[in-house]
Amino acid sequence: MNLFTFFRSGTAHRVRIALGLKGLSATHSYVDLRVDEQLEPPYAEVNPQKLLPALVVDGKVMIQSPAILEWLEETHPTPPLLPSDPMHRAHVRALAAIVGCDIHPVNNRRILQYLRQQFGASEEAVQTWCGRWIGDGFDAYEAMLRADPGRGAFSFGNAPTLADLYLIPQVESARRFNVDMSRWPLISAVDAACLALPAFADAAPLNQPDAPH
């Protein structure tokens, strides 16, 4: 397996965590988003959407982290990242989608570039934008954690699930945008529980070989 990744890509970060939790290893190809390497060959020929990540398995390319993560779960089911009960699976996938659909894509680099270039947004305005969608999403996420009577130290139950793979990169990004995390004590506790695990620590942006020293 080969993963196209960038240390700061939140979507590649999810896949790095999943590979670690599943005990799988992948070679890395680094795509530097800071200089828009994703828009040009060779990467643009790997993924026509020109976004990270892509996972290549037996010469076949998979794109879109939600699809890659479900593929990893189906083909390498141990340890599971989804519970067995369908309603519980829907709950975990809903938590993941709060981040994966309604926070991350709206704060993605291409969107922020558009705000700066087309709307003349200042860096303060960009931070306010990011904080708004993170806040709305985390408010919902926190409410769902609070309403779950069976929850342990993680987003669901007593072990990491798909939801945590989405949450932890988003918390990392929130801190980078100077969002005050004290508003979400349950999310903050889940973040701490996850970061104590090697798979999460090893996948962290600043622990990647392509991160600045």
Comparing CB distances to its own copies, the nearer of 157 and 210 is 157
> In angstroms, what is the minimal distance from the CB of 159 to its own copies?
19
Asked if 81 and 47 touch (Cβ cutoff 8 Å), the reply is: no
Report how far apart, in Å, the C-alpha atoms of 203 and of each of 6, 64, 87, 113, 118 are. Answer: 11, 18, 29, 26, 34
Comparing CB distances to its own copies, the nearer of 112 and 197 is 112
Comparing CB distances to its own copies, the nearer of 79 and 119 is 119
Burial of residue 140 (number of CB atoms within 10 Å: 0-12, 13-18, 19+): middle
Comparing CB distances to its own copies, the nearer of 132 and 176 is 132
Burial of residue 34 (number of CB atoms within 10 Å: 0-12, 13-18, 19+): exposed
Comparing CB distances to its own copies, the nearer of 34 and 60 is 60
User: HSE-up of 12 (CA within 13 Å, CB side)?
Assistant: 26
> In angstroms, what is the minimal distance from the CB of 9 to its own copies?
14
> In angstroms, what is the minimal distance from the CB of 60 to its own copies?
6
> In angstroms, what is the minimal distance from the CB of 173 to its own copies?
15
> In angstroms, what is the minimal distance from the CB of 155 to its own copies?
13
The residues, ordered by sequence, that sit 6+ positions from 91 with a Cβ below 8 Å of its Cβ are: 144, 148, 156
> In angstroms, what is the minimal distance from the CB of 209 to its own copies?
26
Q: How many C-beta neighbours within 10 Å does residue 20 have?
A: 17
**Cα 67 from Cα 35, distance rounded (Å):** 26
Comparing CB distances to its own copies, the nearer of 39 and 206 is 39
**Chain contacts with its own copies (rule: CB under 8 A):** 48-51, 57, 60, 62-68, 70-71, 74-75, 86-87, 89-94, 96-98, 100-102, 104-106, 108, 110-111, 114-115, 118-119, 121, 125, 128-129, 132, 136-137, 139-140, 143-144, 147
- DSSP 3-state assignment of 169? helix
